[in-house]
Structure 1
Amino acid sequence: MSASQTVQQLQAELVTAENFRRYGQVIFASTDGKQFDTEDAQLNMQNGTPRFYIMRLEKRGRKFNKITRHVKCTQCLGSLEGKDWFIAVCPPHNELDEPVLEELAAFRIPGNCFIKLNEGTWHAGPYFDHEVVDFYNLELADTNVVDHFTHDFLKSHQLEFEMV
């Protein structure tokens, strides 16, 4: 007899610099000529060749059962065309091989900013209600080959999540 799957709803908060601090940074527009400071993305790209590209995603919805982390670099994500989107995150606990379920949070990201994920931050997304969204993505050239650790909540907890 197999265990039954449960769909757990995650309430998505509108992202702010304060409520996202445990996971990374939220970067909003600044005036041209502003000097570099702590409000700018604090990047770690020293472990390889940075890769900045546009990824096209289609019909993602808001449900997920897998969450991923990268421990060797930061990652920046933002949508093009002002489209809003969702991401689920869990703070890094690099001494553990899996996310802490009780610390899972969801955020709605408006199309006028981008997020920088800290090294080791677990993340599921981007997810969205649009048909297609193009995202700019800054990570290392080989992040998804050598620094891509995934946890499957279906296998570990018979759980799927839906961001609402």
Structure 2
Amino acid sequence: MFDKEDAQLVLDKGTPRFYIMKLPARGLKFHRITYHGKCTQCLGSLTPGHPWYVALAAPTLSLDRWPAPEDIRVFRIPFGCFVKFEVGTWHAGPLFAAPGSVDFYNLELADTNVVDHNTHDYRRDNGLEFVVLDEELAA
């Protein structure tokens, strides 16, 4: 039975799209952060043995009010866990240190990355780049 304990998805402003994306290794750095104002988004890794990371900040629903660096939090996501971003959640990633590519599933609207891809570039606009440090990887 579906109730308030289940993930509440917002996919009613277009055609939902569930797909697998093979992402090449890009390391644990980022300088862009994005939000989607029309839908929720769900991500999960399909490649066992490799944790991944996502940087998140609270929704502002405005490109003029991008997150301050101190408002960004990075989460380590173990294999087998899937995450849901609320509408407007600022996010960077998935990021991973695995060599080669990692497969991820993605649930969003079919045209999200065309008509609802709102991005702030910290390198261009603020001279900043972020690096994810994980003590478990360093050990």
Q: Same fold (TM over 0.5)?
A: yes
Q: What corresponds to 1:147 in structure 2?
A: 116
Q: How many residues align?
A: 130
RMSD, matched Cα: 1.3
Unpaired segments ≥5 residues, structure 1: 1-34
Would you say 1:89 and 2:56 are equivalent positions? yes
Distance 1:151 1:95, change over 3 A: closer
Q: Which one has the bigger strand percentage?
A: 1
Q: What corresponds to 1:118 in structure 2?
A: 86
TM-score normalized by the length of structure 2: 0.88
Alpha-carbon shift at residue 39 of structure 1 (Å): 3.3
TM-score normalized by the length of structure 1: 0.75
Q: Percent identity?
A: 58
Would you say 1:133 and 2:99 are equivalent positions? no
Alpha-carbon shift at residue 37 of structure 1 (Å): 2.9
Question: Does the 8 Å CA contact 1:98/1:151 hold for their aligned counterparts?
Answer: no
For the residue of structure 2 that corresponds to 1:119, the secondary structure is: coil
The one-letter amino acid of 1:115's match is V
The correspondence of residues 1-164 of structure 1 with structure 2, limited to 5 A, is 35-82=1-48, 83-95=50-62, 97-101=64-68, 102-130=70-98, 131-164=100-133
Runs of 4+ in 1 over 3 A off after TM superposition: none
The structure having more radius of gyration, on CA atoms, is: 1
CA deviation profile, 1:109-141 (whole Å, cap 9, x unmatched)? 111210000000110000101121100000000
For the residue of structure 2 that corresponds to 1:73, the secondary structure is: coil
Unpaired segments ≥5 residues, structure 2: 134-139
Counterpart CA distance in 1 for 2:93 and 2:47 is 18
The one-letter amino acid of 1:76's match is C
Q: Which one has the bigger helix percentage?
A: 2
For the residue of structure 2 that corresponds to 1:125, the secondary structure is: strand
